[in-house]
Amino acid sequence: MADIEIGLGKTARRSFGLDELSLLPSRRTREVDLVDLRWQIDAYEFDLPILGSAMDSVTSPATASALGALGGLGVLDLEGLWTRHENVDELLADLSGQTEEQVLAKLRQLHQTPVDHDLVVQRIKELQAAGGYTAGAVSPRRVADMAQTLLSAELDLVVIQGTVISAEHVSTNDDPLNLKQFVREFETPVIVGGCASYQAALHLMRTGAAGVLVGVDGGATATTGSVIGVGSGMATAIADVRAARMRHLDETGVYVHLIADGGMRSGGDIAKAIACGADAVMLGSPLAVADEAPGHGWHWGRSTFHPELPQAELARVDSLGPLSAILNGPGRAADGRLNLCGALRSSMATLGYETVKELQKAELVVVRG
C-alpha cells in the first residue's frame, strides 16, 4: 500500500475500518445449513467463533457459563470486580436506576478494593463447576504477581491483555516483564494482545502465544485514540497481523490464531473481520445489551477507572433480549444487533464458504473512505 504524503518529509499509511469495506460475492452460494462456524485453538474446539470480552459489564461467571453453553467462550477479567468482591451481583443490582455520575462514583469506589487471589481461584472454580472451558484475562503489569495463582487454578486459556502490548517493554524496573518467559511457563495456551501492527504481532507470536488479540481503541467505550493518539482501522490491523502470521508460519510451521477485538457491532462486521484474516472475534458492547449482562444497563471498559489516565468511557445501554437471541436470534429489527451468528452464517452461505477458515479467502472491496 502506497504511503500518503501528509507534509514535507512525512508520510502515512491509509488505514481502513470494517465499515469501509464490503464482501464481494463469488461464483458459488450454498444453503445456510451447510455452513460450519466451529473454531479451534490448541486442543479446545468451540461451536461459535465468539469470545466474550473481559469486561465486568459483559462477562461475569454466570454469563461466561451461559456463553459457553451457547458455543462461545467468556473471558473473565481476573482484575475486575469479580475478583475484588464476593457479592458483585448484589453490589451492581441497583445501577439501572442511577445517574451516570452516581454509577461512576460507585464503580470507582468498588475498584479501590484490591484483587483477592483467593477470589481469583474461587471464580475460576465456579467456571469449572459450570462445565465448559474457562478463560481469564490479566494485564501485563499483573502477570508476575498472579502467575502462581493462575497456574494453580488450572485455567484452560490465559489471556494477557493490555490496550497495547509488546514483547519488549523498556522499564527502569530491575525485573521488567519478560513476556516470552511467562508465555512458555504456562502449561495452558496463552492469548496475548492487543496489537495492531505487523512488527508488534510478529514479536508477540515469537513468544510462543497460541493466539493474538488484534485491535486498539476499537470498542464502543474506548477513547485510546483521542487520549493518547494510538490506534488503527480494524480491517487494516487484522490484515497486517495476518501478514505477520504468514511469515511466522513460514518460519516455524506454527499457526497463531488471530482474534479481532473491538469495533464489531453486527454479523456483517464479524464476517468482514474474518475475511480480513481473523479466526474469531471478541465482543464487548454487542453482548453488554443482553438481558443477562452484569452491567445492569451500563457498559464500561477495563481502563474506565484507571486512577491517573482513563482510556474508556461509561455508556448507558438498553437491553435487547437474552444472550441466546443476541447470538442466535430470532432478530426483530434490521439493524443487525440480534442473531449475530445467524447473520454470519447467512453471509458465508451467500459467499459460498463452508467454514470460517474458508471465509478468510473472501474478496473485499472498499465502498467508502
Report the pLDDT value the prediction gives residue 173, as an integer from 0 to 100: 57
- Residue 239 lies in domain: 18-366
Distance, in Å, from the CA atom of 182 to the CA atom of 203, rounded to the nearest integer, reads 14
| CB distance 176 to 169 below 8 Å | yes
Q: Which three cell numbers stand for residue 125?
A: 472454580
354, part of any domain:
yes
47, part of any domain:
yes
1, part of any domain:
no
287, part of any domain:
yes
What is the three-class DSSP state of 141?
helix
Termini Cα distance of the chain: 15
Chain position carrying cell 473454531: 39
Helices 340-351/267-276 angle, 10° precision:
50
5, part of any domain:
no
3, part of any domain:
no
Domain count across the chain? 1
Print pLDDT tens along the chain (369 aa). Answer: 678 888 888 988 889 999 999 999 988 999 999 999 999 999 999 999 999 999 999 999 999 999 999 999 999 999 999 999 999 999 998 888 889 899 988 999 999 999 999 999 999 999 999 988 999 999 988 888 888 898 888 899 999 987 655 555 545 554 556 778 778 877 889 999 889 999 999 999 999 999 999 987 666 676 767 777 777 889 999 999 999 999 999 999 999 999 999 889 999 999 999 999 999 999 999 999 999 999 999 998 877 777 676 666 888 999 999 999 999 999 888 889 999 999 999 999 999 999 999 999 999 999 985
284, part of any domain:
yes
352, part of any domain:
yes
Domain harbouring 231, CATH code: 3.20.20.70
